[in-house]
Amino acid sequence: MTAELDLIESIQSALTDRSGGRVHTWTGDDAAVVRARDYAVTSIDTLVENVHFSLATHSAADVGWKALATALSDLAAMGADAGEAYVALVVPSRFDGSLDLVLGMEELAEATGTTIAGGDVVSGQILAVTVAVTGWADRELELIGRSGAWGGDLVGVTGELGGSEAGRLALESGEGGSTGLVRRHLRPEPRLAEGTALARAGATAMIDLSDGLATDARHLAERSGVQLRLELAQVPCAPGVEPVAAATGGDDYELLFTIAAERRAAAEAAATVSWLGEVVAGNGVVLIGEDGRPVEGLSGYEHA
């Protein structure tokens, strides 16, 4: 048995089918066979070494967790239930952590009810991980996109912002930092339950914050053909993070959403949210400082 086949067998042995019978045929065959629900929601993400992560700061298990988390976060932003994941690894000869990488991924899969249903392993010059995920819904009305915001809607966000970027800076400086902030960077948590609950509460548009509030809010505004007016003072900041840094840091994977004002209580019952502002006629995003004036030139995180 070659080393590659041995690795594939070890990976297959480490995985668990937690689909409740939806997955008919999975790892070990030529393709997966899945019993579908009415609506399939599919997304794909790729993480590349020295672009999206560094092995100097991330363990192999951290890389696996993050790769699955970034893909699942897209399902959260659509309000879909997690389903299956399909993984492709490009592995350089110097890297011996492939099984640990998959075990880190499987740890998050267990926490989110996801089944890693198939994949591929190939050799390459640099470590890269591609994850395709499929989520599910039974009705079209259970799903949500970026294009439904209306004038008069409130703008809310889940959780706290800026923690992942603060954790990244702490790791790269080698000076340490809050354990919680470092974990936010190494092992982000996709807000699947919150996404489903907010969609059912009546959210009109939603996006996950992968590139930072300043950038991702603009994506939502553009798709909806509206303007978002957001107050920096209302941005929920991770411990020790200033509002501007919280608005521009990436990889938080919280959910930014809009909802009719009369549905405010429903949103607050669905998730822990902070209210940032409102939707008005116009285009783009206006970030308002404590002096009441727009703050110019803010943008989200860009990968090197």
Q: Where are the domains of the chain?
A: 3-141, 144-288
Q: Is the pLDDT of residue 263 over 70?
A: yes
Q: What is the mean pLDDT of residues 270-278?
A: 98
3-141 and 144-288 share one fold: no
Tens digits of per-residue pLDDT, 114-173? Answer: 999 999 999 999 999 999 999 999 999 999 999 999 999 999 999 999 999 999 999 998
Domain 144-288 CATH (choose: 3.40.50.150, 3.90.1150.10, 3.40.50.300, 3.90.650.10): 3.90.650.10
In degrees, to the nearest 5, what angle opens at C-alpha 79 toward C-alphas 69 and 108?
Answer: 25
CB-hemisphere CA count at 13 Å for 48? 6
Cβ within 8 Å of residue 117, ≥6 positions away: 17, 19, 23, 26, 27, 32, 34, 84, 85, 86
Q: Is the pLDDT of residue 1 over 60?
A: no
Q: d(Cα 36, Cα 136) in Å, to the nearest integer?
A: 8
Tens digits of per-residue pLDDT, 79-104? Answer: 999 999 999 999 999 999 999 999 99
- Count the neighbouring beta carbons within 10 Å of the beta carbon of residue 145: 15
Nearest to 44 by CA among 124, 126, 115, 135: 135
The yes/no answer on whether domain 3-141 falls in CATH 3.90.1170.30 is: no
Tokens of 228: 């978002």
Chain Cα centroid distance, residue 182? 17
What pLDDT does residue 70 have?
97
Across the beta sheet with 154-158, the strand order is 205-208, 255-259, 154-158, 273-280, 227-231, 284-288
Q: What is the mean pLDDT of residues 246-264?
A: 97
